[in-house]
Structure 1
Amino acid sequence: MELDLASAELKAVLNRLRRAQGQISGVIRMLEEGRDCEDVVTQLAAASRALDRAGFAIIATGLQQCLTDVEAGGNADEDREQMRARLEKLFLSLA
């Protein structure tokens, strides 16, 4: 399943990933500086949420595209079952 993100959706996902990248860099810097544990964990949790949100946005877009593709035609039962299994695996990977 190829993912074709529309420009607005892609921009939002990339922004989230860049934010997470900055937060992870911040966590590394905080650890190197010996910062307070609570501050480090708070920053790490923010990075984790940013990654989760980016993943969910990608999956939601993929799900929308998959449903559109299945409705447009193809091997209905086989494609749906394969698609369901793949999407379930993706959702569980983020859980």
Structure 2
Amino acid sequence: MDSHSGHGYTEQKDAYLKRIRRIEGQVRGIGRMVDEDKYCIDILTQISAVTAALRAVSVGLLDEHMRHCVVTAAQESPEAADAKIAEASAAIARLIKS
């Protein structure tokens, strides 16, 4: 765990949870669409919407990480900053792959 209290997203936690619950509902809706044999393109459209919503949450969390965790680490030491930047770079690489 980080040496500071809270995470960068803490102030926006309720908003993130609301968005994630909305995404969960969208995913359940996709399951219903498949179960009800809906048109392929309609299902793909919904999958695209869920993917975009997840990406938006990811970008928001990454932004919070940079603004909070990386900045806090930079105030602690260059080594801590390097570690947080490496975490962020790895997260960005994973996001780009997906």
TM-score calculated relative to the size of structure 2: 0.81
Which residue of the partner structure matches residue 52 of structure 1?
A: 55
Unaligned runs of 5+ in 1: none
- Please say if residues 20 and 50 of structure 1, whose CA atoms lie closer than 8 Å, have aligned partners that are also in contact: yes
CA RMSD of aligned residues (A): 1.7
Deviation at 1:90, TM superposition (A): 0.9
- Looking at structure 2, the residues matched to 45 and 71 of structure 1 have their Cα atoms a distance apart, in angstroms, of 37
Which residue of the partner structure matches residue 5 of structure 1?
A: 9
Please list, as runs of the form range in 1=range in 2, the aligned pairs for 1:10-89 lying within 5 A after superposition: 10-72=13-75, 74-76=76-78, 78-89=79-90
The 3-state SS of whatever aligns with 2:30 is helix
TM-score calculated relative to the size of structure 1: 0.84
Q: 1:71 to 1:89 in 2, by over 3 A?
A: closer
Aligned residues: 92
Unaligned runs of 5+ in 2: none
Q: Which runs of 4+ in 1 moved over 2 A?
A: 1-7
